[in-house]
Structure 1
Amino acid sequence: MARDLDDVDRGILHALQENAREATAAEMADAVGVSASTVRNRIERLESTGVVRGYHPDIDYERAGFQLHVFVVCRAAPPDRSSLAAELLELSGVVRVRELLTGTENLHVEAVAADSAAVDDLLAAITGLGIEIVSSDIVNTTHVQPFDHFGADAVPDG
């Protein structure tokens, strides 16, 4: 269920998206014009209501020994899609599976691999689950930015 967010909530979410690890309650409070205790209470409420589901590291897989970032587009029968997505997450190297609501290319798999042999093993494991692979690509670079609805423009002047 959607939760109504005010400008303070949006400002806090913006700060968390920018740098959740190092942003302090005092810094966020200064940015949104409230006290640090208000920020801590709001974060607790955002977490307890499921708006903030966790804090995740941004891992450089290449530096961790996984030089290849693979994006695989798959096709699965809609009734089987959810269970297959769960099975895909169990495969070695898979870091994310997106289950699409529409279209025939309805499972998108992101994985990392140390070398081309590991990519071949991954693709064989995917087809071994009875999933049709439409395409597989090696990712060069991923660009990410925070969702702008929680951007600096949403932060109240304080």
Structure 2
Amino acid sequence: MTDVSLDNVDRGILFALQRDARNVTIAEIAAEVDVSASTVRNRIESLEESGIIQGYFPKIDYERANYPLHVMFVCTAPAEDREELARSAIESHGVVDVREMLTSMRNIYVEVVATDTRDLTEITNELSALGFEIVSSEIITNHHVRPWAEFEFENGDE
């Protein structure tokens, strides 16, 4: 992995995309970071090619989409198997997000959505069968995010 140096324009673009990538136009970002639209397009392409921007994902209200159970499983996996198990888990029914933690215990967080308790039980059994020890399960009621303030554009800080 190579280090990429971000300048103030790159950070401003990232901030705008984090705030609302779906509804912001290239022209609006360009005006916000005080460069041309073609510069913004080129910078976004470069940020994508370098792997800094890895994708664009919608924020979904699972309950409104008829998946009323939104649960975070906190699991433990053997450190030497953690990455492989995480990759297996993301392919499992109902799993929408897997996070690997840099700890020896409680080192995998698996976010799942389910239609009912029967569905949730099947997901739980599948995760256990993969080799996870489920330490706890927590129902998610809300998830709040915001753009990282370090990316906010400040004109003249280049």
The TM-score, its normalising length taken from structure 2, stands at 0.92
**Displacement after TM superposition at 1:89 (Å):** 1.1
- State the number of aligned residues: 155
- Over aligned residues, Cα RMSD in angstroms? 1.3
Contact 1:31–1:155 (CA under 8 A) maintained in structure 2: no
Runs of 4+ displaced beyond 4 Å = none
**2: CA distance, partners of 1:63 / 1:25:** 31
The residue number in structure 2 matching 1:156 is: 155
Please, which runs of 5 or more residues in structure 2 have no aligned partner?
A: none
- 1:62 is displaced (CA, Å) by 1.3
TM-score normalised by structure 1 residue count: 0.92
SS in 2 for 1:40: helix
SS of the residue corresponding to residue 87 of structure 2 reads helix
Q: Which moves more between the two structures, 66-75 or 41-50?
A: 41-50
Aligned to 1:118: 119
- Give 1:7-18 correspondences, 5 Å limit: 7-18=8-19
Using the aligned pairs only, state the percent identity. Answer: 50
Is 2:102 aligned against 1:101?
yes
Greater Cα offset, 65-74 or 17-26 = 17-26
Aligned partner letter, 1:25: I
Contact 1:93 1:113 in 2 (8 A): yes
- 1:1-158 equivalences in 2 (<5 Å): 1-151=2-152, 154-156=153-155
Which residue identity does 1:13 align to in structure 2? L
Distance between the aligned counterparts of 1:143 and 1:121, measured in 2? 28
Deviation at 1:10, TM superposition (A): 0.7
Deviations 1:121-143 (A, max 9, x none): 11111112222110011111111
Q: 1:44 to 1:130 in 2, by over 3 A?
A: closer
Q: 2:72–2:111: 8 Å Cα contact kept in structure 1?
A: yes
CA contact (8 A) 2:67 2:114 kept: yes
